[in-house]
Chains A and B, each alone.
Chain A
Amino acid sequence: MKIMAQMAMVMNLDKCIGCHTCSVTCKQAWTNRAGTEYVWFNNVETRPGLGYPRTYEDQETWEGGWVRKSNGRLTLKAGGRWKKLATIFSNPKLPSIEDYYEPWTYDYATLLNSPSTSTFPVAKPKSLISGKQMNITWSANWDDDLGGSREHAAKDPMLKGIEDKVKFEFEQTFMFYLPRICEHCLNPSCAASCPSGAIYKRSEDGIVLVDQDKCRGWRMCVSGCPYKKVYFNHKTGKAEKCTFCYPRIEVGIPTVCAETCVGRLRYIGLMLYDADRVLEAASVENDHDLYEAQRSVFLDPNDPEVAREAERAGIPLDWIEAAKKSPVRRLIQDYKVALPLHPEYRTMPMVWYIPPLSPVVDVVRDTGHDAEDKGNLFAAIEALRIPVEYLANLFTAGDVGPVNDVLRKLAAMRSFMRDINLGGDPDESIAEAVGMDAESMYEMFRLLAIAKYEDRYVIPTAHVEQAHGLEELATECPVDFDYEPTTGVFGEGSGDLTPVAVENFRMLEERQQSDQLVGGGSKRGRVNLLNWDGKGAPRGLFPHRKKQDQ
């Protein structure tokens, strides 16, 4: 047994209102730079729909993730190591910019500088790729709210096999939002695809990162990730991906997307797992068994044996305590209401989802029945094969069993709580009907509906006693740091570090005030992931230069 800890997230899809706040705040924090205009570490897609990049889930086309060979071993779907090297000069499966979308900006200056005219001046869209005028035809959420429409949803790869039954009769009722970030997989195929070995998984918290100094721009990770959550920065020529906001997690605060989520539907916590069993679980023969196989590698920190073993493995005590309290663990293991996204890719994803009951509730309500009666809801779950099958295609590799169970639990919770809210006695039998007891049903309700900040985010504060001295901590006053780097004799890398957060803030400020159309090519600042936008000579490349060429 080799115990490791993993930062994980659960999203409760019933509560997502599709406001895209998470995407916007994430972009502001991480990808607001030239070269990453088209990049959304967090995106929210309307389902059924095409997703971003378009039809990324169709692995027959994109060949992301792993496949199980007939001898029972896993191999990358796009081919093993030799094939990767043989195709290194031109990645055959790399999505082009059209598969994402061509990013643009507006030429606002024409509005501001326009002389008085009889017609209103127009700010035309300009491509951020070519700099030319363009027609906008697609974006990261172009089919927003169009779930079920023939033009877009009909091409959803997840409707394969049920499209004949669907006929889009459910188009008015069946639609929900799916916010996505990198899954920080236990068996990441992005890392496995990287020829340079630049993508690594942190053994402390399982966060998957790209080492910007080791990345050589081979782009194999982009095609290797089945969720298409590694992106190519076309200015710096390096791969970038969701960082699980590691500078924030390290100091015990949630990711930006979770912090700012309007629906408060995200939960962050630790999962302990047995790293020795990951590969075995990812290689089970039947796709339908992958969900349970993944659950079986998780360990219960409340088990004294596990706790002792974890401590021996060097996991600090406060981390083990945090794992015990982890809301993510409760939702995945105790209540069993959270499901992984596309377990069939065999990457063992670690951002899980509580599937939405609302499509079912809406149907019951629209037909004039009591949408809080468990009998009606159970019957509807039985009857509404199509939404359930669709959800199963997303979350359980097509196995409707677990999806049914989750939906029945959510339905039971609904009617159970109705009784309580109306002042009646809790009806234990409702909980029992879905294999729970009254108390845990109530606890689950509290966690799903009214949990406080500290219950939703249980992130072990990385040794609070020294938190003030950590590199990223926001308790230091930003003016304490020199933004102009105090470059030592040996240039970049010597001298004091400016915290990423401070530097990024200053860079953004500068960029937003710049007059240039594309990205305000600042030549200041250290070369690092957050700030250099690939323009000009990075500072530190030429030590001792007297004057910047202004």
Chain B
Amino acid sequence: MSTFLWVIFPYICLAVFVVGHWWRYRYDKFGWTTRSSQLYESRLLRWGSPLFHFGLLGVVGGHIIGLLIPQTWTDAVGISETAYHWVAVIGGMISGIMVMVGLVILIYRRRTVGPVFSATTPMDKTMYFFLALVIVLGMWNTIASSIFGLGGSEGHSFNYRESVSVWFRQIFYGQPDASLMTDVPFGFQLHALVAFFLFALWPFTRLVHVFSAPVGYITRPYIVYRTKDEREGTGVGSRAPGRGWERVQ
């Protein structure tokens, strides 16, 4: 059972995530959008959306640090476990609260503003449910483990960087060790599982817009020009001249 939960299931989800995105991009570029509802309502959105999104950027950044950077590295540069812990908790709390507040505003808006609600698809609702679940579990883990000392031992709070993070990295090396996850507090287990499930849902929801974050905008020229046909010998007319009508050079 634990092999399924901590080895097979994550790989299935990741496979769906990758293949799903490839497939969606191949077949549904037109559907690849944020599907903004700002046109219907912007008073609540003006607060909710930036809070939520900027908060999420913080949360994602925190996860990258916490999951991908091995503890040995931070130890090596002399950051003590306690120091790390408090930075993580405070940073996590701030972004987490932003996300939670934003999420509450956004869900309230989605539910109460008629046009927004009727523009919500069943897939949106499913996605919202799992997204909210992951976030709530994540918040609970942060609070419970750091403040109530859940899962901790001998005065230390639970150190996920010795178990969860290692397991997470092992997934990408191709040798996840399921035993690392079996003794982790239940909240962390659930958070990880639901998160992986959300990854599997990802390509089929509007979450795909995350991957079109327009970073290229910073460097590209302001005005984009496009030509119909850039092949050698074709004209600049609204149509390329046909065969036998090549331009005389």
Contacts and interface: CB of A to CB of B under 8 A. Distances in A.
A216 interface: yes
B173 interface: no
Interface residues of B, number: 50
B174 interface: no
B140 interface: no
Given A81-B218, A195-B214, A540-B27, A89 B224 contact: no
A466 B237 CA distance: 13
A90 to B, nearest CB: 4
Interface in B119-178: 119
Contact of B34 (A84, A237, A463, A543): A237
A98 B212 CA distance: 29
A458 B27 CA distance: 39
Interface stretch (A201-209, A256-264, A405-413): A201-209
Given A187-B223, A200-B225, A89 B28 contact: no
Interface stretch (B7-15, B36-44, B58-66, B83-91): B36-44
A532 interface: yes
A250 B28 contact: no
Contacts of A94: 38-39, 42
B202 to A, nearest CB: 16
B30 interface: yes
Nearest to A128: B115
B55 to A, nearest CB: 11
A132 B113 CA distance: 12
B49 A202 contact: no
Contacts of B212: 196, 216
A129 B40 contact: yes
B190 interface: no
Contacts of B21: none
Given A213-B30, A462-B239, A195 B39 contact: no
A130 B28 CA distance: 27
Interface stretch (B74-82, B179-187, B241-249): B241-249
A88 B212 CA distance: 12
A463 B241 contact: yes
A236 B36 CA distance: 9
Contacts of B114: 130-132
Contacts of A491: 27
A380 B36 CA distance: 52
Contacts of A493: 27
A72 interface: no
Contact of B27 (A5, A249, A543): A543
A196 B30 contact: no
A67 interface: no
Given A234-B39, A541-B27, A201 B223 contact: yes
B57 to A, nearest CB: 10
B5 interface: no
Q: Interface size class for chain A?
A: 35 or more
A354 to B, nearest CB: 27
Contact of B224 (A187, A199, A492): A199
Interface stretch (A109-117, A312-320, A394-402, A446-454): A312-320
B209 A216 contact: yes
A527 interface: yes
Interface in B82-119: 114-115, 118-119
Given A527-B30, A541-B27, A466 B239 contact: yes
Given A201-B224, A237-B36, A541-B31, A216 B214 contact: yes
A196 B39 contact: no
A212 interface: yes
A314 B247 contact: yes
B237 A201 contact: no
A68 to B, nearest CB: 15
A352 to B, nearest CB: 20
Interface in A192-249: 192, 194-197, 199-205, 212-219, 232, 234-238, 249
B115 to A, nearest CB: 5
Contacts of A204: 227-228, 236-238
Nearest to B28: A541
B155 to A, nearest CB: 41
A400 B37 CA distance: 43
Nearest to A91: B38
A415 to B, nearest CB: 42
A316 B242 contact: no
Interface in A276-327: 313-316, 318-319
Contacts of B227: 202-204
A203 B226 contact: yes
A197 B194 CA distance: 35
B33 A236 contact: yes
Interface string B19-56: 00000000111111111111111100110011011100
B214 A85 contact: yes
B217 A85 contact: yes
A465 interface: yes
A249 B214 contact: no
By CB atoms of chain A within 10 A, which of B38, B226, B245 has the most? B38
B35 A217 contact: yes
B222 interface: yes
Contacts of A205: 238
A79 interface: no
Given A191-B223, A199-B224, A460 B237 contact: yes
B33 A463 contact: no
Nearest to A95: B39
Contacts of A460: 237-238
10 contacts: A90-B38, A90-B45, A96-B38, A130-B118, A197-B220, A216-B32, A238-B33, A249-B238, A316-B241, A463-B239
Interface of A: 5, 81-82, 84-85, 88-92, 94, 96-97, 129-132, 187-188, 191-192, 194-197, 199-205, 212-219, 232, 234-238, 249-250, 313-316, 318-319, 460, 462-463, 465-466, 470, 491-493, 527-528, 532, 538, 540-541, 543
Complex A-B, nearest 8 residue pairs according to Cβ-Cβ distance, in ascending order:
A195-B214, A237-B35, A192-B222, A213-B29, A314-B236, A237-B33, A217-B33, A316-B237
Given A96-B42, A314-B236, A465-B245, 19 more contacts: A5-B236, A85-B218, A90-B50, A96-B38, A96-B40, A97-B40, A130-B118, A197-B216, A216-B209, A217-B35, A217-B36, A236-B33, A237-B35, A249-B238, A315-B237, A316-B237, A460-B237, A463-B237, A541-B28
Interface of B: 27-42, 45-46, 49-50, 52-54, 114-115, 118-119, 209, 212, 214, 216-218, 220, 222-228, 235-239, 241-242, 245, 247
